[in-house]
């Protein structure tokens, strides 16, 4: 029997009202997330990838209940968490933790590292007494490969990568099942980024954590993730396991994102796809396929009919009207290739 997913998101929508005028009348809705569904198992990493404003962070914030969904269902171990009243969210907050992009602002500069990591231990009643707390904090620092003496220092005494390790230790402290990493390595230098990605991959394998890894950069997630969901203007346009997505992408938007990711072999080349124009406004998304205003392969049907996610391979879904095989080369107009 297949194990039930740890996290199940069904038809998630989050619309933000647009208010204008002196009385703040609602004159529109920002469709930040518009019908997103996916499941995440224990011990699995799912990456949610897309350009800025595609709604990926709002998905994370909805799961964390930092914002209330407009519609849809979110289940943790089968239990609805999107409708839980605030006083019952405590157990969810222990099990679902987050690491944000900016370790500089997410750590209290007036607290020593020991207090920062001890806070969730104390709040959730997981360690009592000074010696027990110190021992637990030291173990968590060791887990993220920081020395025990770090606990007596303040956040400003650490580099960006070290601060992100402190954030990860704090997220691990309450014994979370799921960690949401929201652009957690985006602000770091390339080599530090790789170290933190490797650390997360190791922790995920060692502790059996589920990771929801939110990133604008497909290249970052390649060595960490089991599956990838690509979002565009509030919707998932392609979802596949790592090998299928990186080796045989189907959706033109995924292909465009991939074409910007350098390959390890400098002699190897991907078909370069240059996207024209900006992402349209989520207040008034284009009809039909939301990507049609930038898609070099768009045809009449794309402008009137929204493509549903359909299976294009085992466990691989894509929302595109084209009938090509995943990975199959597509004839591009010259303007979309950047001359490559
Ligand atoms: Fe491009 Fe049409 Fe496919 Fe949308 S449905 S991605 S516009 S070809």
3-state secondary structure 238-300: EEEEHHHHHHCCCCHHHHHHHHCCCCCCCCCCCCCCCCCCCCCCCCCCCCCCCCCCCCCCCCH
Instruction: Report the pLDDT averaged over residues 308-337.
Output: 87
Q: Per-residue pLDDT tens for 117-151? A: 999 999 999 988 999 999 999 999 999 999 999 99
| 336 pLDDT above the threshold of 70 | no
User: pLDDT by residue (tens digit) across 148-197?
Assistant: 999 999 999 999 999 999 999 999 999 999 999 999 998 899 999 999 99
Work out the percent of the chain whose per-residue pLDDT is above 70: 96
Q: Does residue 281 form part of some domain? A: yes
**Residue 260 Cβ < 6 Å to ligand 1:** no
CB contact set of 248 (below 8 Å; sequence gap of 6+): 313, 316, 325, 326, 327
Average pLDDT estimate for 250-260: 93
Range of the domain at 310: 226-340
Structural domain total, the chain = 1
Cα 334 from Cα 332, distance rounded (Å)? 6
282 lies in some domain: yes
* Whole-number average pLDDT of the chain: 92
Q: How far apart are the first and last CA of the chain?
A: 49
The tokens for 162 are 């070290």
User: What integer pLDDT is reported at residue 334 of this predicted model?
Assistant: 59
Q: How many angstroms separate the Cα of 168 from the Cα of each of 45, 87, 93, 137, 253?
A: 16, 25, 15, 12, 32
Q: Using one digit for the tens of pLDDT, what is the confidence trace for 41-76?
A: 999 999 999 999 899 999 999 999 999 999 999 999
Q: Ligand 1 centroid to 38 CA: how many Å?
A: 22
The pLDDT tens digits for 197-244 are 999 999 999 999 999 999 999 989 998 999 999 999 999 999 999 999
Give, using CA atoms, the residue closest to atom 3 of ligand 1: 320
Cα(40)–Cα(51) distance, integer angstroms: 22
**pLDDT score for 91:** 87
Q: Are strands 235-241 and 310-313 parallel, antiparallel or unpaired?
A: unpaired
Which element (helix H / strand E) includes 162? helix 160-172
Residue 136 domain flag: no
Q: In 94-183, where do the E strands start and end?
A: 96-99, 178-182
Provide φ and ψ at 241, rounded to 5°. Answer: -75, 165
In a domain, 220, yes or no: no
Residue 97 lies in a domain: no
Q: What share of the chain is helix, strand, coil (3-state, %, to 5)?
A: 30, 25, 45
Q: Indicate which atom in ligand 1 lies nearest the CA of residue 303.
A: 7
Are the C-beta atoms of 264 and 249 separated by less than 8 Å? no
Nearest to 214 by CA among 336, 65, 51: 51
pTM for this one? 0.92
Among 231, 250, 273, 291, which is best to mutate for testing ligand 1, by the most ligand atoms less than 8 A from CB? Answer: 291
How confident is the model at residue 285, as a pLDDT?
A: 94
For residue 218, how far is its CA from the centre of ligand 1 (angstroms)?
Answer: 20
* Range in 6-15, 63-72, 263-272, 308-317 the model is least confident about: 263-272
Q: Which of 303, 307, 312 to mutate to test the pocket of ligand 1 (most atoms within 8 A of CB)?
A: 307
Question: Is residue 331, in this structure, part of any structural domain at all?
Answer: yes
* pLDDT at residue 267 in the model: 66
Q: Is residue 325 part of a domain?
A: yes
Selection from 172, 158, 180 nearest residue 100 by Cα: 180
The CATH number linked to 282 is: 3.40.50.300
Measured in angstroms, how far is the CA atom of residue 296 from the centroid of ligand 1?
8
Has residue 176 been placed in a domain?
no
């Amino acid at each position: 029997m297949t194990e039930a997913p740890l996290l199940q998101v069904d038809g998630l929508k989050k619309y933000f009202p647009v208010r204008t005028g002196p009385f703040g009348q609602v004159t529109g809705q920002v469709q930040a997330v518009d019908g997103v569904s996916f499941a995440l198992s224990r011990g699995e990493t799912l990456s949610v990838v897309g350009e800025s404003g595609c709604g990926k962070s709002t998905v994370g914030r909805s799961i964390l209940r930092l914002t209330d969904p407009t519609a849809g269902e979110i289940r943790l171990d089968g239990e609805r968490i999107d409708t839980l009243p605030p006083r019952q969210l405590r157990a969810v907050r222990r099990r679902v933790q987050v690491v944000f992009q900016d370790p500089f602002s997410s750590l209290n500069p007036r607290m020593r590292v020991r207090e920062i990591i001890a806070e969730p231990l104390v709040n959730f009643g997981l360690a009592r007494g000074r010696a027990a707390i110190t021992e637990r904090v030291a173990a968590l620092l060791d887990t993220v490969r920081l020395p025990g003496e770090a606990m007596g220092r303040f956040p400003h005494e650490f580099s960006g990568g070290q601060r992100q390790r402190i954030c990860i230790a704090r997220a691990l402290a309450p014994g979370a099942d799921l960690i949401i990493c929201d652009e957690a390595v985006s602000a770091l230098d390339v080599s530090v980024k790789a170290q933190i990605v490797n650390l997360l991959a190791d922790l995920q394998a060692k502790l059996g954590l589920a990771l929801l890894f939110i990133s604008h950069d497909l290249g970052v997630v390649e060595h960490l993730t089991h599956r990838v969901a690509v979002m565009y203007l509030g919707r998932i346009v392609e979802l596949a396991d790592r090998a299928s997505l990186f080796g045989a992408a189907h959706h033109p938007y995924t292909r465009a994102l991939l074409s910007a990711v350098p390959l390890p072999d400098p002699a190897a080349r991907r078909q370069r796809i240059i996207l024209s124009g900006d992402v349209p406004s989520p207040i008034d998304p284009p009809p039909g396929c939301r990507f049609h205003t930038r898609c070099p392969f768009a045809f009449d049907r794309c402008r009137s009919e929204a493509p549903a996610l359909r299976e294009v391979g085992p466990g691989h879904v894509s929302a595109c009207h084209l009938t090509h095989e995943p990975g199959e080369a597509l004839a591009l107009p010259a303007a979309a290739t950047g001359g490559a």
